[in-house]
Structure 1
């Protein structure tokens, strides 16, 4: 049986890694993973913000089908909510695999609703350690509301002073050792918080007391601090991959690395523009690196369009597990592409955001984008930077893609008027992109 390790970085920019053109030497382990496996250059996240993408990942469906995913983002103010979260009755990647005898673990960030009504163990994970909210201090493990937020199977655990990225890596490696002993098939969801703010490196040793008061500190961080955070993330990924090799698990384990959305202030997304919260390419185009023993052509590169929920369909396809009949996948299995990197699967991708009334669609090399009352049409094969608006030159294509988007959007109904659309900082806090 095939095992699965899904590694999710948080707010990683498209070009932060060397194998995606990164300008700093921060990712030797992930670059080595790409050399051993396959890299996707036209991969996307389900959303340009954290929680909605995670809804898409765990369900294999467009997040817009669930009320909780309308929040941009989901914050600690929803503690105790009976509505804003992942319904425990909804089939998920871990629950479907667990029904087929898989062991399932989430090591890292949950961000899909708070106890007592929601939580990892209510949605298919047998084991969990990590934060329930979004960003937390890397040393004190408090969230943006000032509350301690590190739990093991629902109970608070105190690892004060322990750098969170290293803690999660240690837990993941320990989990792999346990599975190597019992030889049960497994899903390990390793959802790091790095390189999400606060801007703290391992070397700081928790000395930045300001982050315990406001972990979003707008006057903190730098490109150098950010690079060090990625180096530690990369080191952790390398330790996990090494453990798979040493434990004899690598040949039968499909490993996927990606990010939940585009980058933040210090990220590198060249040549893309925009970032987190944007439906421009910098907000939704993310790296995808896949390793699967000797089953993939080393160093292969695919231009196949894909998004987060497709990898749920892919993993379940590899395990021979169908979708629940009442909850068919919106995601599409990428197994044909993994077997032949030159294969092409016709794919349309759609997004919507309450923030700035953004709408987007990707079909082939073309992208339809609308921001408030402005419409754009881009040929991304010639203009990945989205600078040349072809809407007037190709009015028929614009109308066709707008109509196709409208038909898709009608499936889900309007975004609830009361849904949160909160920026971590306002436009006046930061210079324009």
Structure 2
């Protein structure tokens, strides 16, 4: 991209959002009406992907891929599924400050940078957003916090401004939205004069605990039981998504009022598939699973100056491709020692039908899972058993074709193993955080 045409970029990431939770992906209306009218409108006015995947079915590994535009498996911290509060004080379990990142590359290219929302890539003092290319940071360092007390699962307060702990009352989703709007308004004069900004908006919604902005009374109960296993329902869950959607609407309106909407790329996705209250129809599985429900997620791009309304793409892609696209759009130069594994989607922005070949790979320590999506076909291993699915014909992954197509299965398995041989092995001391996530894995 040329200097004068470089857009502002807003990268919005939901947490544990299911494939069909949004209306534009087939989600049901709530009792109060449409759950996601703002995001549905952005999809109608922009480009919607139907075959967009997350780099992992669990939070922090995906965020390593997002931040580096590289396979997360290249970094030790991403072997944790996910990083948890036990890693506080670690100097190895996090995103190394010296590693080039999406924000650091864009910053070098002249962008202003900020993260508002969830980090989940290691704890201070060794790690943090400011050390990895963001000029500003507001949000929690850990994976999940109470929406009102802002305390993490170990009970400690976890809301930061920059590298300092920050106390502020309010429902976290709303605080993230308000801070994002404030950033847009503060950066607008520079953006209009040719200094674009890159804003990451990483909501914790609709991740547990199950609290709407009207549930402040639950905070003390939830504080000692952040997983909130006995709480929540689909109505609370839908309302949490709606609160996020409202906040995104405020960000869009701020861009419009500052005359920046035309030249701003807004991207929306989720870090992985949904939890127990999510809707992933017709997919099965969820968070922690390499079945489609754990990794196929909403993908929306809105950029009026470049993307025509009503676009629909079946391009195979994953989280780190968003990041590679933003590097390209921002005119940034990848570091020669850290070549990108992500692939730019700019050709698809121009022509949604311009499909290019793209193989997607995953591995999980949890249940020894592995997966490869190549064209219509998906190779999957769970608990030592191999499966083969034709995804367009069987999105629910119920009809195992392994017995009927043994040569295809062998070929895809060999392709996966050849790719895996280029990645560092999973360390013996890597941990898996169990006890949550929808489970509907294929049966033998």
TM category, shorter: over 0.9
Equivalent residues in 2 for 1:20-419 (5 A)?
20-24=25-29, 25-160=34-169, 162-183=170-191, 184-419=195-430
Kept in 1, the 8 Å contact 2:149–2:219? The answer is no
Per-residue deviation, 1:243: 1.1
Q: Distance in 2 between matches of 1:94 and 1:346?
A: 27
Kept in 1, the 8 Å contact 2:61–2:81? The answer is yes
Q: Distance in 1 between matches of 2:441 and 2:185?
A: 47
Give CA deviations for 1:2-54 in whole Å, capped at 9, x if unaligned. Answer: 21100000000000000000012200000000111000000000000000000
Q: Distance in 2 between matches of 1:299 and 1:424?
A: 40
Kept in 1, the 8 Å contact 2:286–2:437? The answer is no
Q: Specify the SS of the correspondent of 2:214.
A: helix
Per-residue deviation, 1:130: 0.1
Give CA deviations for 1:340-378 in whole Å, capped at 9, x if unaligned. Answer: 011011100000000000000000010000002110000
Q: For residue 3 of structure 1, what is the aligned residue in structure 2?
A: 8
Kept in 2, the 8 Å contact 1:140–1:206? The answer is no
Change (3 A) 1:54 1:250: same
Kept in 2, the 8 Å contact 1:108–1:193? The answer is yes
Q: Distance in 2 between matches of 1:13 and 1:425?
A: 15
Instruction: Give the gaps of 5 or more residues in structure 1.
Output: none
Give CA deviations for 1:111-149 in whole Å, capped at 9, x if unaligned. Answer: 000011000000000000000000100000000010000
Q: Distance in 1 between matches of 2:344 and 2:437?
A: 38
Kept in 2, the 8 Å contact 1:139–1:206? The answer is no
Give CA deviations for 1:158-184 in whole Å, capped at 9, x if unaligned. Answer: 113x00000000000000001112332
Per-residue deviation, 1:254: 0.8
Change (3 A) 1:309 1:3: same
Per-residue deviation, 1:209: 2.1
Instruction: Give the gaps of 5 or more residues in structure 2.
Output: 1-5
Count of aligned pairs between the two proteins: 430
Q: Distance in 2 between matches of 1:80 and 1:139?
A: 25
TM-score scaled by length of structure 2: 0.95
Kept in 1, the 8 Å contact 2:115–2:129? The answer is yes
TM-score scaled by length of structure 1: 0.97
Q: Distance in 1 between matches of 2:280 and 2:238?
A: 14
Give CA deviations for 1:309-335 in whole Å, capped at 9, x if unaligned. Answer: 001110111112221111001000000
Q: Distance in 2 between matches of 1:421 and 1:338?
A: 37
Q: Distance in 2 between matches of 1:262 and 1:415?
A: 22
Q: For residue 21 of structure 2, what is the aligned residue in structure 1?
A: 16
Q: Distance in 1 between matches of 2:260 and 2:440?
A: 47
Q: Distance in 2 between matches of 1:116 and 1:230?
A: 33
RMSD, aligned α-carbons: 1.4
Q: Distance in 2 between matches of 1:206 and 1:314?
A: 43
Kept in 2, the 8 Å contact 1:173–1:243? The answer is yes
Give CA deviations for 1:400-433 in whole Å, capped at 9, x if unaligned. Answer: 0000000000111321111011113499xx9999
Q: Distance in 2 between matches of 1:148 and 1:2?
A: 36
Change (3 A) 1:302 1:407: same
Higher mean alpha-carbon deviation, 11-20 vs 231-240, is at: 231-240
Per-residue deviation, 1:208: 4.1
Per-residue deviation, 1:213: 0.9
Q: For residue 3 of structure 2, what is the aligned residue in structure 1?
A: none
Change (3 A) 1:432 1:280: closer
Q: Specify the SS of the correspondent of 1:86.
A: coil
Per-residue deviation, 1:207: 3.5
Q: Distance in 2 between matches of 1:195 and 1:368?
A: 30
Q: Distance in 1 between matches of 2:403 and 2:14?
A: 38
